[in-house]
Amino acid sequence: MEDELENAKIKTEGLQRFIDKVKQVTRPNTLTAEEMEEYFQEHISKKPFLKAKTA
């Protein structure tokens, strides 16, 4: 019984490490230069710039 509990604990810890690695990819705390460039190209550069009104 104790062996089964220990095996379950080891599997759970391994699964938690996997989940933590997936979270690093799906919810990053920092952005790389490449990720920022990709976001800029896809979202920012395609929007028209606002033109200042002259009076």
Give pLDDT tens digits for 13-33. Answer: 989 999 988 887 788 777 788
**What pLDDT digit, counting tens, does each position of 35-45 carry?**
888 888 887 77
Contacts of 39 (CB under 8 A, 6+ apart): 31
Structural domains of the chain, count: 1
pTM: 0.43
pLDDT at 36: 84
pLDDT at 52: 60
Domain range enclosing 27: 14-40
pLDDT at 16: 93
Asked whether residue 26 is domain-assigned, the answer is: yes
Please say if the pLDDT value at position 49 is more than 70.
Answer: no
